[in-house]
Amino acid sequence: MNRPADASTATAGVLGSPGKGGAPWRPGRDVLLRLASLVVFLLLWQLVAVVAQDPTVPMPAVVFERIGAEVASMDLPHHLGVTLFRVAISFAAAMLIGAAIGIAMGRWPALDRFLDGWLVLGLNIPALVTIILCYIWFGLNDWAAILAVALNKIPTVVVTVREGARAIDPRLMEVARAYRLPPARKFLQVYLPQLYPYLFAAARAGLSLIWKIVLVVELLGRSEGIGFQLNVFFQFFDIAGILAYTLVFAAVVLLVEALAMRPMERRLNRWRQ
């Protein structure tokens, strides 16, 4: 398949839900391992900073102090909020539109053949090109920014969901037809559950792709948000600031993954146990 190899695959590996393979899921051990990994990371960082003795490699303590200051001044929460809002809107739009197109393409082969060329084009346009064009055509505003992000993500959602729509079990759909299920119930209880694994794959990869692109979009044409702040820090060579914002943002993304995505996926996969 012409699925793009973006960095999201690496992230998905790190965040991959435990217990998905053969090993049973043990919450206690799992948490312990994650904590150990975090501690080792911080120790390595400290070590590098001590050895380097360079202002461009600040120590962890300096960065955490900076996080505290930025939170106290409300700068960080404000910019984080703006960025998360953009992430949420463009993520929701990309998932909804991508899933709708993917379902339609999986369902109707003629449409699939018609749109396939566009899809390949969409998958291969560099994110930067979409962003620049959106800003030029629609102006330097929030909607152009959100549109640019969504447009980058939609093709990959389409590809994944189309795979799922092609794998729909016709025998289960026959049950729905034989019993004349009302369309809403047929869609929500017979059709959609068959797509859940594909929708989750798309959502996981999507989130990690989108939050990277959002920063670029903000850097290029917005005056608020994490991406904008990173650009400012870059101008002043403020490494501690860059690391402070990055750490907080990454932590939020991890939290979203752990507290929203993973529990939801586990709940929807209950029946597989």
Partner 1 sequence: MLSVHVREKHYADRGGKRHVALRDLRLSAAEGEFVCLVGPSGCGKSTLLNIIGGLDAAAEASVGLDAGAPGASVGFMFQEPRLMPWLTVMQNVCLVCGERPEAATMARQLLEAMELGEVVDAFPGALSGGMQRRVALARAFVIEPRLLLMDEPFVSLDAPTAGRLRSMLITLWQRRRATVLFVTHDLREALALADRVCFLSSSPGRIVLEHRIELPRPRDPQSTEIGTMYEELLSRHPGLLAGLGGDAQDAA
Cα distance between residue 16 and residue 264, in whole Å: 14
Q: Which of 175, 255, 258, 264 binds partner 1 (CB under 8 A)?
A: 175
* Closest to partner 1 by CB, 171 or 235: 171
Q: Report the candidate in 132, 193, 127, 133 with the shortest Cα–Cα distance to residue 156.
A: 127
Residue from the set 187, 193, 234, 259 that interacts with partner 1 by CB under 8 A: 193
CA atoms within 13 A on the CB side of 262: 17
> What binding mask, one character per residue, do residues 36-75 give for partner 1 by CB under 8 A, x or -?
----------------------------------------
Q: Which residue carries 């037809």 as its tokens? A: 177
Q: To the nearest whole angstrom, how small is the minimum distance from the Cβ of residue 267 to partner 1?
A: 11
Which residue's CB is nearer to partner 1, number 117 or number 183?
183
Phi, psi of 144 (to 5 degrees): -65, -40
Q: Taking the complex as a whole, how short is the minimal distance between the CB of residue 99 and partner 1, in angstroms?
A: 18
| CB-nearer residue toward partner 1: 137 or 267 | 267
Structure tokens at 112: 């699939």
Q: Could you say whether residue 271 binds partner 1 (CB under 8 A)? A: yes
- Closest CB 176 distance from partner 1, rounded Å: 8
Q: In 3D, which of 267, 240, 115 has the Cα closest to residue 229?
A: 240
Using the rule CB under 8 A, is 190 a contact of partner 1?
yes
Pick from 156, 170, 153: nearest CA to 198: 156
Q: How far apart are CA 142 and CA 67, in angstroms?
A: 26
Total residue count of the chain as it appears in this document: 273
List the beta strands (DSSP E) in the chain.
Answer: none
Query: Per CB under 8 A, which of residues 229..268 are in contact with partner 1?
Result: 268
CA distance 91 to 242: 24
Number of chain residues interacting with partner 1 (CB under 8 A) = 18
At closest approach, how far in Å is the CB of 272 from partner 1? Answer: 7
CB of 22 to partner 1, least distance (A): 17
Residue ranges in contact with partner 1 by CB under 8 A: 171-172, 174-175, 177-181, 185, 189-190, 193, 196, 268, 270-272
